[in-house]
Amino acid sequence: MSVPESVARPVRLARRSRQGVLLGLDGGQLMCIGAAIGFLFLAVNRFGLAGVLIAAPVSIPLAVAGVITIHGLPCPTMITLWVLLHVRHATGTTKATYRPEAKRLEGTVNLPGRAGFVQIWSADGMAVAYHPHERTVSITAELEVQGFLMRDAQDRLELARQWSNVLGPFTQRPGVKRVALQERTHHTTIRAARDAFNDTTRRRRVDPGSAVVRNYQEVLDLGERFAVSHRNYLTLTFDLIDLTAQVRALGGGKDAVIALAAMEAGNVTAALRTAGKTVRKWVSPRDWAGLARAVFDPEFLTALDDRTGDLSGLDLAAIGPMALEEPRGRNGIVRTDSGVHTTMWIHEWPRTDAPVGFLEPLVFARLPISNQAVAHILTIVLTPGPIAKALKRIQDDKRVWRSNQRMRAKRGREGSAADDADYAALRQQEEELVSGHGEYTYGGYLTITARDEDTLEQSVAGARNAMGQVGMEAQVLYCQQAEALLVNALPLGWGMK
């Protein structure tokens, strides 16, 4: 049975705009070009034509830096990140080690940077992550959608529509600061299968030394190498400043914030159930710590996955990492206890029609040589924005586009198809907002984890191959890997703003 094209391929995302502030250049690039012109003008004004030669050693590098890119980022931005990284190397802040006897505020976590200020509270077993500087709380649900990839295109599309009905209202609700969708893939154990087999052999009194048992044990041993866990999470972050009235109505203070988080969890659970999604559980403080420890210390995964019931996860004091380091000269990786990681920003999404579930190749990405699964965390951070603010942004972007077009016309240059696509995307966004849709600004981040650098390189290659199949592109977040890892490893819904 054939599926109509409108059903099979309904997804298309606009290209990332490159209009910049002026002629595709951002503020840093314009400052470099302006500084080059200003220095040249001062030199000529002071020394005459000889000033051109005097200013050239400074003006030319500044002008070149204003127009080139490094690793896909504007040169001034990349230089700033590189300088900040070397400042951190000089001050010793690229390394962090755990001090077991150091005093810490109860409920906080042993993490470097701003993550160390996060407090984890419990609301009837659900983890409530409170950030005192942002005045936000985050709650995380583990989701389950049975057999999504096994359904036909029409059912997938219907599930996607129901999912949009869940996410859409968040753009209209005050207090919702961020919505993060996360998919985690890591190697796991087959302990459940082994326990079931051992139980069966005992009940049926099968000889442990028989050929049948030995053969089956060999099959289990071979299958252990390819055992993979795929889990999906939804993290909601609420702005307590916008929700001051509700917190005050609940009595104020920590208990009111916890009560508010529990109420929101109930509302979201009901909305997800209506959309055909099952909340397997709201992540507990022990589960929250376990999610982070699984990233920092991959060798601990086996022990972590074998824990069940009240023993699942681990205590917040053991969240790790025991050590974290951004190695000098390796600006694209970060090392932790037993893992090495690289985090990438997904800067291009499919611009041609793509089917619902187009992320499937990335979710099930494999290493090119060994064909093992790529251990990764894929996070999409959605930030809802008020409609009035979104319409104003679109008008500003359209003015920039028109200004760029006028300047190109004065220079005798015609606009490109890419410029036309940028304007068409703005028109489409404006029409959708006017018709009643909300707006999310979004960013995608992919953290890849391996136990050594050689495996990491293969994993990155496998992930890039998978993204290439669906028209996605990713850029390594050079010189900011430690921050990027913490942003993606912790279920807090943070992005790289």
Instruction: Give me the pLDDT at residue 69, please.
Output: 81
pLDDT of residue 20: 57
pLDDT at 7: 46
pTM over 0.85: no
- Chunk the chain into consecutive blocks of 10 residues (it has 497) and report each block's average pLDDT, rounded to whole numbers: 46 57 71 86 83 84 82 81 86 81 72 86 93 93 78 78 82 88 87 79 82 81 79 94 92 92 91 83 93 91 79 84 90 93 91 79 90 92 82 80 76 72 76 72 92 94 92 91 92 83
What span, in angstroms and rounded, lies between the C-alpha atoms of 137 and 107? 14
Quick one: pLDDT at residue 89? Answer: 83
Give residue 6's pLDDT: 46
- pLDDT of 3: 45
pLDDT given at position 39: 83
pLDDT for 342 equals: 96
- Does residue 140 contact residue 339 with C-beta atoms inside 8 Å? no
pLDDT for residue 445: 95
Give the span between the Cα atoms of 54 and 217, in whole angstroms. 78
End-to-end CA distance of the chain: 46
In a 10 Å sphere around its CB, with 0-12 CB exposed, 13-18 middle and 19+ buried, how is residue 10 labelled?
middle
Task: Report the pLDDT value the prediction gives residue 5, as an integer from 0 to 100.
Answer: 46
